[in-house]
Structure 1
């Protein structure tokens, strides 16, 4: 659950967290594989959405 604005990350943070490039990050966001929203041209990504994506796409215990 979203608790504070500190729980929102940027595209650059997402790239660092998942060790991916910006093109891949934008693809994940635009295809709703990672749930996020935009304010103007800036993506706001809940940190929890990244965790959910990792759990959904890995063999880690849920």
Structure 2
């Protein structure tokens, strides 16, 4: 994973949704994320792909 990574809280703020909604998107595999320890990290490129309705592919 390269580039900027965001937390669930940062993605929630960016998308103007709750943290729970972001977690639901992750568990539904609609938003790519990597679990690091007990927390999720989401690549900014994955968020951009989600917003564009495209599938995220790691570089």
The TM-score normalised by the length of structure 1 is 0.79
The Cα RMSD (Å) is: 1.6
Which is helix-richer, 1 or 2? 1
SS of 2:42's partner is strand
Structure 1 segments, 4+ long, off by >2 Å, are none
> What runs of 5+ residues in structure 2 fail to find an aligned partner?
55-59
2:37 corresponds to 1:40: yes
1:23 corresponds to which of 16, 20, 23: 20
Alignment match, 2:2: 2
> What runs of 5+ residues in structure 1 fail to find an aligned partner?
58-62
2:56 corresponds to 1:54: no
Q: Please say if residues 2 and 48 of structure 1, whose CA atoms lie closer than 8 Å, have aligned partners that are also in contact.
A: no
SS of 1:2's partner is coil
Q: In the TM superposition, what is the alpha-carbon distance from 1:2 to its structure 2 partner?
A: 2.5
Alignment match, 2:57: none
SS of 2:41's partner is strand
